[in-house]
Amino acid sequence: MGLISAVITQNIDGLHRKAGSKNIFEIHGNLEEAYCMKCRRKTTFDELVKKLSGGNIPPECDFCSQRGRKGILRPNLVLFGDILPPSFTQAAKEVRRSNLLIVIGSSLEVYPANRLPANCSKFVIINREETSYDSLAEIIWHENAGKALEEILKELRG
């Protein structure tokens, strides 16, 4: 319907992309990609698993190995202690530009993603449980996300 400008997700399963969503900010990375910690080249997560399963521990980057360097592959995930990827900064900019942020299925407890609503003038929360941001939201809907979104879609279609 053209009402959503972006999807910002902490999920790492890639389901938003598989569902056909556009302009996705995966702020914790995803389990579909891996990258070399030395040259930063990306490969598939399946390639990383294949190397590990074949006894290549640690899993070496083919590009670096061909050049006599020792590059190690790792999943394209944000792990504890990692610096957030550029997608987080881009997501924060998107939130600041938006007229409305709809937070769906998040407890808003994980820092720094939980700070995103503070960057938006208006936000709605759809979550089964209460959050620390409920008192600041325009609308709070304590409901299963799927059910709530079905009802919203029904209203939008009139």
* Residues catalogued as catalytic: 28
Place of tokens 């997700």: 9
Token pair listed for 24: 């996705």
